[in-house]
Copies of this chain bind each other. A is one copy, B any other.
Amino acid sequence: MPIDVEVCIIGAGAAGLKAAHTLLTKSDSLTQNDIIVVEAQDRVGGRLYTDRTSSKIGLHYDLGASWFHDCLSNVVFQHFYSGEGEGDKEIFDILSDGYFDDKPVKVFSSDEIAEIDMHKTNMETITNDIESFCELYFIDKLSTDEDITLKQLVELYIQKYSKILTEQEKKYAKVTMRYYELWHGVSWDRLSARYAVLDHNGRDLFNKKGYDFLINWLLQIGISRDRVLLNSPVSKIYRDASKLVGNRRHRKCAVEIRGSSELIYCDYLVVTVPQSILSLDHKVEPNYGIEWVPVLPASMQTALKNIHFGALGKVIFEFDSVWWNKNQDRFFILADENVATDGIETLTSLPKPFSFPALAINSSNIHKSDKGSLIILTQTPLTEYLESNPDQAWSYYGPMLARISSTPYSPPPAPINTITTKWTTNPYIRGSYVACYKGDDPTEIISQLSGEIDGMGLSSSTIRFAGEHTSFEGEGCVHGAWMSGMREAEWILKHSGRGEVTKKLDKWRL
Protein backbone atom coordinates (compact mmCIF):
# COMPACT_ATOMS: atom_id res chain seq x y z
CA MET A 1 0.00 0.00 0.00
CA PRO A 2 1.31 3.44 -0.79
CA ILE A 3 2.30 5.68 2.10
CA ASP A 4 0.34 8.85 2.35
CA VAL A 5 1.56 11.57 4.71
CA GLU A 6 1.52 15.27 5.25
CA VAL A 7 5.32 15.55 5.38
CA CYS A 8 7.99 13.27 4.00
CA ILE A 9 11.59 13.90 5.07
CA ILE A 10 14.42 12.36 3.07
CA GLY A 11 17.39 11.66 5.30
CA ALA A 12 17.63 10.80 9.00
CA GLY A 13 20.63 12.96 9.84
CA ALA A 14 20.71 16.03 12.04
CA ALA A 15 18.78 18.17 9.55
CA GLY A 16 16.03 15.65 8.84
CA LEU A 17 15.48 14.57 12.42
CA LYS A 18 15.53 18.17 13.65
CA ALA A 19 12.93 19.05 11.00
CA ALA A 20 10.72 16.23 12.23
CA HIS A 21 11.22 17.25 15.85
CA THR A 22 10.34 20.86 15.11
CA LEU A 23 7.21 19.86 13.18
CA LEU A 24 6.01 17.72 16.06
CA THR A 25 6.77 20.10 18.89
CA LYS A 26 5.76 23.38 17.27
CA SER A 27 2.53 22.20 15.72
CA ASP A 28 -0.73 21.79 17.55
CA SER A 29 -2.13 19.19 15.22
CA LEU A 30 0.65 17.22 13.51
CA THR A 31 1.26 13.77 14.91
CA GLN A 32 3.77 11.02 14.30
CA ASN A 33 1.52 9.54 11.65
CA ASP A 34 1.59 12.70 9.59
CA ILE A 35 5.35 12.44 9.09
CA ILE A 36 7.63 9.85 7.59
CA VAL A 37 11.41 9.91 7.40
CA VAL A 38 13.10 7.83 4.72
CA GLU A 39 16.77 6.98 5.10
CA ALA A 40 19.01 5.32 2.49
CA GLN A 41 21.35 3.70 4.98
CA ASP A 42 20.78 0.98 7.53
CA ARG A 43 21.26 3.40 10.39
CA VAL A 44 20.16 6.86 11.46
CA GLY A 45 22.53 9.79 12.02
CA GLY A 46 23.93 10.50 8.59
CA ARG A 47 27.29 12.14 8.97
CA LEU A 48 26.98 11.95 12.72
CA TYR A 49 28.34 8.54 13.53
CA THR A 50 29.84 7.47 16.82
CA ASP A 51 31.82 4.27 16.57
CA ARG A 52 31.53 2.51 19.94
CA THR A 53 32.72 -0.93 18.89
CA SER A 54 36.00 -0.68 16.99
CA SER A 55 38.26 0.57 19.76
CA LYS A 56 40.57 -1.92 21.46
CA ILE A 57 41.26 0.43 24.36
CA GLY A 58 37.73 1.18 25.41
CA LEU A 59 37.28 4.56 23.75
CA HIS A 60 34.68 5.68 21.24
CA TYR A 61 35.18 7.85 18.19
CA ASP A 62 33.05 10.20 16.19
CA LEU A 63 33.85 9.23 12.64
CA GLY A 64 31.79 12.14 11.36
CA ALA A 65 31.44 15.52 13.06
CA SER A 66 33.42 15.76 16.32
CA TRP A 67 33.25 19.39 17.39
CA PHE A 68 30.81 22.09 18.25
CA HIS A 69 32.30 24.73 15.97
CA ASP A 70 31.95 28.49 16.41
CA CYS A 71 30.62 28.14 19.93
CA LEU A 72 29.76 31.83 20.29
CA SER A 73 27.06 31.45 17.65
CA ASN A 74 26.39 27.72 17.69
CA VAL A 75 22.72 27.12 18.61
CA VAL A 76 23.31 23.59 19.78
CA PHE A 77 26.21 24.58 21.98
CA GLN A 78 24.30 27.59 23.31
CA HIS A 79 21.33 25.42 24.20
CA PHE A 80 23.37 23.09 26.36
CA TYR A 81 25.56 25.90 27.66
CA SER A 82 22.60 27.89 28.88
CA GLY A 83 21.39 24.81 30.74
CA GLU A 84 17.82 26.07 30.63
CA GLY A 85 16.25 22.94 29.13
CA GLU A 86 14.96 20.33 31.54
CA GLY A 87 17.40 17.49 32.01
CA ASP A 88 19.81 19.01 29.49
CA LYS A 89 22.74 18.40 31.74
CA GLU A 90 22.11 14.67 31.60
CA ILE A 91 21.90 14.83 27.83
CA PHE A 92 25.05 16.85 27.33
CA ASP A 93 27.03 18.54 30.06
CA ILE A 94 29.31 21.10 28.43
CA LEU A 95 31.85 20.85 31.23
CA SER A 96 32.23 17.10 31.49
CA ASP A 97 31.11 16.05 28.00
CA GLY A 98 33.02 18.71 26.08
CA TYR A 99 36.63 19.79 25.88
CA PHE A 100 38.13 22.87 24.22
CA ASP A 101 41.10 21.27 22.51
CA ASP A 102 42.58 24.60 21.50
CA LYS A 103 45.81 24.96 23.37
CA PRO A 104 48.39 26.32 20.91
CA VAL A 105 49.16 23.63 18.35
CA LYS A 106 52.65 22.15 18.30
CA VAL A 107 54.28 22.11 14.88
CA PHE A 108 56.73 19.59 13.46
CA SER A 109 58.36 18.96 10.10
CA SER A 110 60.36 16.29 8.30
CA ASP A 111 63.69 18.05 8.62
CA GLU A 112 63.77 18.96 12.28
CA ILE A 113 63.92 16.55 15.14
CA ALA A 114 62.22 18.74 17.72
CA GLU A 115 59.12 20.87 17.74
CA ILE A 116 59.40 24.02 15.63
CA ASP A 117 59.89 27.16 17.70
CA MET A 118 56.96 29.40 16.75
CA HIS A 119 58.74 32.37 18.28
CA LYS A 120 61.95 32.01 16.33
CA THR A 121 60.34 31.11 13.03
CA ASN A 122 57.74 33.88 13.26
CA MET A 123 55.38 31.36 11.72
CA GLU A 124 52.20 32.78 13.17
CA THR A 125 52.92 36.33 12.09
CA ILE A 126 53.63 35.21 8.54
CA THR A 127 50.54 33.03 8.42
CA ASN A 128 48.42 35.98 9.56
CA ASP A 129 50.08 38.13 6.93
CA ILE A 130 49.25 35.62 4.19
CA GLU A 131 45.64 35.60 5.36
CA SER A 132 45.46 39.39 5.15
CA PHE A 133 47.16 39.24 1.76
CA CYS A 134 44.49 36.78 0.63
CA GLU A 135 41.70 39.05 1.81
CA LEU A 136 43.16 42.08 0.03
CA TYR A 137 43.86 40.06 -3.09
CA PHE A 138 40.19 39.22 -3.47
CA ILE A 139 38.85 42.61 -2.33
CA ASP A 140 40.40 43.89 -5.53
CA LYS A 141 38.47 41.22 -7.40
CA LEU A 142 35.10 41.49 -5.70
CA SER A 143 33.24 42.18 -8.91
CA THR A 144 34.87 39.29 -10.73
CA ASP A 145 34.79 35.56 -10.12
CA GLU A 146 38.51 35.18 -10.65
CA ASP A 147 40.02 32.59 -8.38
CA ILE A 148 43.29 30.81 -7.76
CA THR A 149 44.17 27.84 -5.59
CA LEU A 150 45.38 28.33 -2.05
CA LYS A 151 48.75 27.04 -3.19
CA GLN A 152 48.98 29.64 -5.93
CA LEU A 153 48.07 32.35 -3.48
CA VAL A 154 50.87 31.37 -1.13
CA GLU A 155 53.29 31.35 -4.05
CA LEU A 156 52.15 34.83 -5.07
CA TYR A 157 52.70 36.13 -1.56
CA ILE A 158 56.18 34.67 -1.30
CA GLN A 159 57.06 36.02 -4.71
CA LYS A 160 55.79 39.51 -3.95
CA TYR A 161 57.37 39.78 -0.50
CA SER A 162 60.46 37.74 -1.19
CA LYS A 163 62.73 40.68 -0.38
CA ILE A 164 61.57 41.11 3.20
CA LEU A 165 61.00 37.49 4.18
CA THR A 166 63.86 35.61 5.77
CA GLU A 167 64.78 32.27 4.24
CA GLN A 168 63.24 30.58 7.23
CA GLU A 169 60.04 32.58 6.96
CA LYS A 170 59.81 31.68 3.28
CA LYS A 171 60.39 28.04 4.00
CA TYR A 172 57.57 27.82 6.48
CA ALA A 173 55.28 30.22 4.62
CA LYS A 174 55.37 27.65 1.83
CA VAL A 175 53.67 25.02 3.91
CA THR A 176 51.89 26.42 6.98
CA MET A 177 48.80 27.54 5.09
CA ARG A 178 48.16 23.90 4.23
CA TYR A 179 46.59 23.83 7.70
CA TYR A 180 43.39 24.83 5.91
CA GLU A 181 43.37 21.49 4.11
CA LEU A 182 42.27 19.95 7.36
CA TRP A 183 39.38 22.37 7.73
CA HIS A 184 38.04 21.77 4.27
CA GLY A 185 39.20 18.23 3.70
CA VAL A 186 40.79 19.27 0.43
CA SER A 187 44.43 19.54 -0.67
CA TRP A 188 45.64 23.11 -1.23
CA ASP A 189 46.43 22.56 -4.88
CA ARG A 190 42.71 22.44 -5.62
CA LEU A 191 41.25 24.47 -2.74
CA SER A 192 39.80 27.89 -3.63
CA ALA A 193 41.97 30.65 -2.16
CA ARG A 194 38.95 32.93 -2.31
CA TYR A 195 37.05 30.84 0.20
CA ALA A 196 39.77 28.94 2.05
CA VAL A 197 40.42 31.37 4.89
CA LEU A 198 37.73 31.06 7.51
CA ASP A 199 36.41 33.59 9.95
CA HIS A 200 35.46 31.86 13.18
CA ASN A 201 32.77 32.76 15.65
CA GLY A 202 34.48 31.57 18.75
CA ARG A 203 36.16 28.42 19.94
CA ASP A 204 35.62 24.79 18.96
CA LEU A 205 34.49 22.32 21.59
CA PHE A 206 35.43 18.70 21.11
CA ASN A 207 32.47 16.45 21.79
CA LYS A 208 33.82 13.83 24.20
CA LYS A 209 30.48 12.16 24.68
CA GLY A 210 29.93 11.23 21.04
CA TYR A 211 27.55 12.96 18.66
CA ASP A 212 25.15 10.03 18.73
CA PHE A 213 23.77 11.71 21.85
CA LEU A 214 22.19 14.34 19.60
CA ILE A 215 20.58 11.81 17.28
CA ASN A 216 19.32 9.73 20.20
CA TRP A 217 17.93 12.82 21.86
CA LEU A 218 16.12 13.88 18.69
CA LEU A 219 14.60 10.42 18.41
CA GLN A 220 13.59 10.57 22.04
CA ILE A 221 11.88 13.96 21.91
CA GLY A 222 10.87 13.93 18.25
CA ILE A 223 9.97 11.41 15.62
CA SER A 224 9.66 7.83 16.82
CA ARG A 225 11.91 5.17 15.38
CA ASP A 226 9.10 3.30 13.65
CA ARG A 227 8.43 6.37 11.53
CA VAL A 228 11.99 6.25 10.19
CA LEU A 229 12.27 3.85 7.27
CA LEU A 230 15.86 2.60 7.03
CA ASN A 231 17.39 1.09 3.89
CA SER A 232 15.09 3.26 1.81
CA PRO A 233 17.11 5.22 -0.72
CA VAL A 234 15.08 7.55 -2.89
CA SER A 235 15.24 6.96 -6.64
CA LYS A 236 12.74 9.46 -7.94
CA ILE A 237 10.94 12.60 -6.83
CA TYR A 238 7.75 13.71 -8.51
CA ARG A 239 7.56 17.44 -8.03
CA ASP A 240 3.94 17.38 -9.14
CA ALA A 241 1.91 14.37 -8.05
CA SER A 242 -1.43 15.67 -9.27
CA LYS A 243 -1.61 13.32 -12.24
CA LEU A 244 -0.30 10.22 -10.53
CA VAL A 245 -2.72 7.35 -10.23
CA GLY A 246 -2.96 6.18 -6.64
CA ASN A 247 -2.66 9.70 -5.23
CA ARG A 248 -6.02 9.35 -3.61
CA ARG A 249 -5.73 12.30 -1.28
CA HIS A 250 -4.36 14.59 -4.00
CA ARG A 251 -1.04 15.12 -2.31
CA LYS A 252 1.27 17.63 -3.94
CA CYS A 253 4.32 15.47 -4.54
CA ALA A 254 5.58 11.92 -4.42
CA VAL A 255 8.73 9.99 -3.66
CA GLU A 256 9.86 6.68 -5.07
CA ILE A 257 11.96 4.40 -2.91
CA ARG A 258 14.47 2.38 -4.88
CA GLY A 259 13.11 -1.11 -5.48
CA SER A 260 9.68 -0.32 -4.16
CA SER A 261 6.68 -0.39 -6.41
CA GLU A 262 4.66 1.94 -4.21
CA LEU A 263 5.16 5.69 -3.92
CA ILE A 264 5.13 7.89 -0.85
CA TYR A 265 2.65 10.70 -1.40
CA CYS A 266 3.03 13.88 0.62
CA ASP A 267 2.15 17.55 0.64
CA TYR A 268 5.50 18.67 1.94
CA LEU A 269 8.86 17.16 1.13
CA VAL A 270 12.10 18.02 2.95
CA VAL A 271 15.14 16.84 1.01
CA THR A 272 18.17 16.55 3.29
CA VAL A 273 20.35 14.24 1.20
CA PRO A 274 23.99 15.37 1.05
CA GLN A 275 24.95 17.82 -1.66
CA SER A 276 27.06 15.02 -3.16
CA ILE A 277 23.89 13.04 -3.81
CA LEU A 278 21.92 16.01 -5.11
CA SER A 279 24.73 16.61 -7.58
CA LEU A 280 24.62 13.09 -9.02
CA ASP A 281 23.30 12.64 -12.52
CA HIS A 282 20.85 9.76 -12.22
CA LYS A 283 21.62 8.72 -15.80
CA VAL A 284 25.32 8.35 -14.99
CA GLU A 285 24.68 6.88 -11.55
CA PRO A 286 21.39 5.03 -12.01
CA ASN A 287 21.77 3.18 -8.69
CA TYR A 288 22.33 6.25 -6.54
CA GLY A 289 21.24 9.38 -8.37
CA ILE A 290 17.80 10.87 -7.77
CA GLU A 291 15.62 11.46 -10.79
CA TRP A 292 13.54 14.61 -10.62
CA VAL A 293 10.29 14.79 -12.50
CA PRO A 294 10.30 17.36 -13.93
CA VAL A 295 14.02 18.04 -13.78
CA LEU A 296 15.34 20.68 -11.41
CA PRO A 297 15.54 24.22 -12.82
CA ALA A 298 18.71 24.97 -14.77
CA SER A 299 19.79 27.55 -12.18
CA MET A 300 19.81 24.89 -9.46
CA GLN A 301 21.67 22.45 -11.63
CA THR A 302 24.28 25.10 -12.37
CA ALA A 303 24.67 25.95 -8.70
CA LEU A 304 25.19 22.28 -7.91
CA LYS A 305 27.89 22.09 -10.55
CA ASN A 306 29.72 25.10 -9.12
CA ILE A 307 30.52 23.49 -5.79
CA HIS A 308 32.46 20.46 -4.64
CA PHE A 309 32.18 18.03 -1.83
CA GLY A 310 35.17 17.82 0.49
CA ALA A 311 36.60 14.60 1.81
CA LEU A 312 37.70 15.14 5.34
CA GLY A 313 38.43 11.71 6.69
CA LYS A 314 39.97 10.30 9.83
CA VAL A 315 42.56 7.71 10.60
CA ILE A 316 42.66 6.66 14.23
CA PHE A 317 45.65 4.87 15.65
CA GLU A 318 45.51 3.14 19.00
CA PHE A 319 48.64 2.20 20.94
CA ASP A 320 49.59 0.32 24.08
CA SER A 321 50.84 3.52 25.65
CA VAL A 322 51.10 7.27 25.13
CA TRP A 323 54.53 7.92 23.63
CA TRP A 324 53.95 11.59 22.81
CA ASN A 325 53.43 14.68 24.96
CA LYS A 326 50.43 13.68 27.06
CA ASN A 327 49.17 17.18 27.74
CA GLN A 328 49.21 18.52 24.24
CA ASP A 329 45.95 18.99 22.34
CA ARG A 330 47.03 18.89 18.74
CA PHE A 331 50.11 18.25 16.65
CA PHE A 332 50.50 19.69 13.18
CA ILE A 333 53.06 17.98 11.02
CA LEU A 334 54.05 20.03 8.00
CA ALA A 335 54.29 18.59 4.53
CA ASP A 336 57.53 18.90 2.63
CA GLU A 337 57.82 21.53 -0.08
CA ASN A 338 57.38 20.59 -3.72
CA VAL A 339 55.90 17.19 -3.23
CA ALA A 340 55.13 14.93 -6.16
CA THR A 341 51.45 14.69 -5.28
CA ASP A 342 50.68 18.33 -6.05
CA GLY A 343 48.21 18.52 -8.90
CA ILE A 344 47.44 14.80 -8.86
CA GLU A 345 43.72 14.21 -8.79
CA THR A 346 43.60 10.58 -7.76
CA LEU A 347 46.28 8.68 -5.90
CA THR A 348 46.98 5.28 -7.41
CA SER A 349 49.63 4.34 -4.88
CA LEU A 350 50.53 5.40 -1.36
CA PRO A 351 52.28 8.78 -1.46
CA LYS A 352 55.53 9.32 0.42
CA PRO A 353 55.14 10.44 4.01
CA PHE A 354 55.16 14.27 4.32
CA SER A 355 53.39 14.65 0.97
CA PHE A 356 50.31 15.98 2.77
CA PRO A 357 50.32 17.72 6.14
CA ALA A 358 48.82 15.88 9.09
CA LEU A 359 46.82 17.20 11.99
CA ALA A 360 46.84 14.78 14.89
CA ILE A 361 44.33 15.18 17.69
CA ASN A 362 45.56 13.84 21.00
CA SER A 363 42.54 11.80 21.97
CA SER A 364 44.40 10.61 25.07
CA ASN A 365 44.53 14.14 26.41
CA ILE A 366 40.92 14.83 25.55
CA HIS A 367 39.80 11.81 27.52
CA LYS A 368 42.56 12.19 30.13
CA SER A 369 43.35 8.58 29.41
CA ASP A 370 46.61 6.68 29.71
CA LYS A 371 45.57 4.72 26.68
CA GLY A 372 47.25 5.88 23.52
CA SER A 373 45.00 7.24 20.82
CA LEU A 374 45.65 9.72 18.03
CA ILE A 375 43.00 10.92 15.62
CA ILE A 376 44.48 12.08 12.32
CA LEU A 377 42.46 14.23 9.96
CA THR A 378 42.88 13.45 6.26
CA GLN A 379 42.20 15.44 3.10
CA THR A 380 41.28 14.63 -0.46
CA PRO A 381 42.88 12.91 -2.40
CA LEU A 382 44.60 11.13 0.49
CA THR A 383 41.29 10.37 2.18
CA GLU A 384 40.00 8.36 -0.77
CA TYR A 385 43.22 6.38 -0.96
CA LEU A 386 43.40 5.57 2.73
CA GLU A 387 39.71 4.80 3.07
CA SER A 388 40.15 2.28 0.28
CA ASN A 389 43.49 1.02 1.63
CA PRO A 390 43.26 1.35 5.39
CA ASP A 391 46.08 -1.15 5.94
CA GLN A 392 48.54 1.34 4.41
CA ALA A 393 47.68 4.19 6.78
CA TRP A 394 50.53 3.50 9.20
CA SER A 395 53.06 3.35 6.37
CA TYR A 396 52.11 6.90 5.52
CA TYR A 397 51.65 8.41 8.96
CA GLY A 398 54.15 6.37 10.97
CA PRO A 399 57.24 8.31 9.84
CA MET A 400 55.41 11.61 10.30
CA LEU A 401 54.16 10.76 13.76
CA ALA A 402 57.67 9.74 14.76
CA ARG A 403 58.36 13.49 14.92
CA ILE A 404 55.99 14.03 17.81
CA SER A 405 57.53 11.31 19.90
CA SER A 406 58.79 12.35 23.31
CA THR A 407 61.95 10.43 22.43
CA PRO A 408 62.40 11.51 18.84
CA TYR A 409 65.36 9.26 18.12
CA SER A 410 63.55 6.00 18.71
CA PRO A 411 60.83 5.01 16.26
CA PRO A 412 57.31 4.90 17.66
CA PRO A 413 55.68 1.54 18.34
CA ALA A 414 53.28 0.18 15.75
CA PRO A 415 49.62 0.79 16.51
CA ILE A 416 47.64 -2.03 18.02
CA ASN A 417 44.57 -0.89 16.13
CA THR A 418 43.78 1.31 13.13
CA ILE A 419 40.33 2.67 12.44
CA THR A 420 39.59 4.61 9.28
CA THR A 421 36.47 6.36 8.15
CA LYS A 422 34.59 5.14 5.08
CA TRP A 423 32.88 8.31 3.93
CA THR A 424 34.27 8.38 0.40
CA THR A 425 33.49 4.73 -0.24
CA ASN A 426 29.97 5.08 1.12
CA PRO A 427 27.81 5.60 -1.99
CA TYR A 428 25.16 7.48 0.01
CA ILE A 429 27.67 10.02 1.40
CA ARG A 430 30.75 10.25 -0.88
CA GLY A 431 32.80 12.62 1.28
CA SER A 432 32.40 14.98 4.19
CA TYR A 433 30.73 18.32 3.47
CA VAL A 434 30.52 21.17 1.05
CA ALA A 435 33.90 22.55 -0.09
CA CYS A 436 35.14 25.13 -2.55
CA TYR A 437 37.60 24.12 -5.18
CA LYS A 438 39.20 26.89 -7.22
CA GLY A 439 36.45 28.74 -9.09
CA ASP A 440 33.56 27.39 -7.02
CA ASP A 441 30.82 29.56 -5.60
CA PRO A 442 29.62 28.64 -2.09
CA THR A 443 26.74 31.08 -1.89
CA GLU A 444 24.91 30.09 -5.06
CA ILE A 445 23.96 26.65 -3.82
CA ILE A 446 22.73 28.02 -0.50
CA SER A 447 20.75 30.74 -2.26
CA GLN A 448 19.13 28.08 -4.41
CA LEU A 449 18.43 25.59 -1.65
CA SER A 450 17.82 27.57 1.53
CA GLY A 451 14.43 28.83 0.41
CA GLU A 452 15.31 32.16 1.98
CA ILE A 453 15.74 34.13 -1.22
CA ASP A 454 12.66 34.98 -3.21
CA GLY A 455 12.48 33.59 -6.70
CA MET A 456 15.47 31.28 -6.30
CA GLY A 457 15.46 27.51 -6.16
CA LEU A 458 12.07 25.85 -6.28
CA SER A 459 10.64 29.07 -4.86
CA SER A 460 7.10 28.62 -3.62
CA SER A 461 7.18 24.85 -4.07
CA THR A 462 6.37 22.69 -1.07
CA ILE A 463 9.57 20.78 -1.76
CA ARG A 464 12.19 22.13 0.62
CA PHE A 465 15.89 21.49 1.16
CA ALA A 466 17.83 21.19 4.38
CA GLY A 467 21.29 20.06 5.42
CA GLU A 468 24.67 21.64 6.12
CA HIS A 469 24.98 22.65 2.47
CA THR A 470 21.82 24.79 2.61
CA SER A 471 22.62 27.09 5.53
CA PHE A 472 24.34 30.47 5.38
CA GLU A 473 25.15 30.08 9.04
CA GLY A 474 27.06 27.04 10.20
CA GLU A 475 27.67 25.83 6.66
CA GLY A 476 29.30 22.42 6.77
CA CYS A 477 28.59 22.11 10.49
CA VAL A 478 26.18 20.20 12.71
CA HIS A 479 24.51 23.39 13.88
CA GLY A 480 24.08 24.51 10.26
CA ALA A 481 22.28 21.27 9.45
CA TRP A 482 20.28 21.62 12.64
CA MET A 483 19.15 25.16 11.91
CA SER A 484 18.26 24.28 8.33
CA GLY A 485 15.97 21.49 9.53
CA MET A 486 14.31 23.88 11.93
CA ARG A 487 14.00 26.51 9.22
CA GLU A 488 12.15 24.19 6.83
CA ALA A 489 9.87 22.81 9.54
CA GLU A 490 8.90 26.33 10.51
CA TRP A 491 8.27 27.22 6.87
CA ILE A 492 5.98 24.20 6.53
CA LEU A 493 4.09 25.01 9.71
CA LYS A 494 3.54 28.55 8.56
CA HIS A 495 2.61 27.57 5.01
CA SER A 496 0.23 24.81 6.07
CA GLY A 497 -1.29 26.76 8.92
CA ARG A 498 -0.60 23.73 11.09
CA GLY A 499 1.29 25.60 13.75
CA GLU A 500 1.77 29.06 15.01
CA VAL A 501 5.38 30.11 14.60
CA THR A 502 5.27 33.47 16.20
CA LYS A 503 8.83 33.99 17.25
CA LYS A 504 11.29 35.00 14.57
CA LEU A 505 13.79 32.24 13.89
CA ASP A 506 16.65 33.39 16.03
CA LYS A 507 20.03 31.92 16.23
CA TRP A 508 20.14 31.10 19.91
CA ARG A 509 16.93 29.13 19.81
CA LEU A 510 16.50 25.42 19.62
Q: Chain A: residues with CB nearer than 8 A to chain B? A: 72-73, 81, 94-95, 100, 102-104, 118-119, 122, 124-125, 129, 132-133, 135-136, 163-164, 200-203
A133-B202, A163-B95 known; A102 vs B81 contact (CB < 8 Å)? no
* A200 and B132 form a contact (CB under 8 A): yes
30 pairs, A vs B, C-beta closer than 8 Å: A72-B129, A72-B132, A72-B133, A72-B136, A73-B136, A81-B163, A81-B164, A95-B163, A95-B164, A100-B125, A100-B164, A102-B122, A102-B125, A103-B119, A103-B122, A103-B125, A104-B118, A104-B119, A104-B124, A104-B125, A125-B203, A129-B202, A129-B203, A132-B200, A132-B201, A132-B202, A133-B202, A135-B201, A136-B201, A136-B202
- Complex interface: chain B residues within 8 A of A163 (CB): 81, 94-95
Stoichiometry, copies per complex: 2
Closest 10 CB pairs of A and B: A132-B202, A102-B125, A104-B119, A132-B201, A129-B203, A72-B136, A129-B202, A72-B132, A72-B133, A73-B136
CB neighbours of A81 from chain B (8 A): 163-164
Please indicate the chain B residues that have their CB under 8 angstroms from the CB of A94 in the complex: 163-164
A81-B164, A100-B125, A102-B122 are known; give 6 further A-B pairs, CB within 8 A.
A72-B129, A72-B136, A94-B163, A102-B125, A104-B118, A133-B202
Q: Which of A94, A122, A125, A203 has the most CB of B within 10 A?
A: A203
Interfacial chain B residues near A119, Cβ < 8 Å: 103-104
Distance to closest chain B CB from A508 (angstroms):
10
A506 to chain B, nearest CB (A): 10
* Minimal Cβ-Cβ distance residue in B for A121: B103
Taken together as a complex, chains A and B put the C-alpha atoms of A136 and B75 apart, in Å, by 14
Instruction: Tell me the bound Cα distance from A135 to B124 in angstroms.
Output: 22
Task: Name the residue on B nearest A118 (C-beta).
Answer: B104
The CA of A81 and the CA of B129, in the complex, are separated in Å by 16
Contacts of A136 in B (CB 8 A): 72-73, 201-202
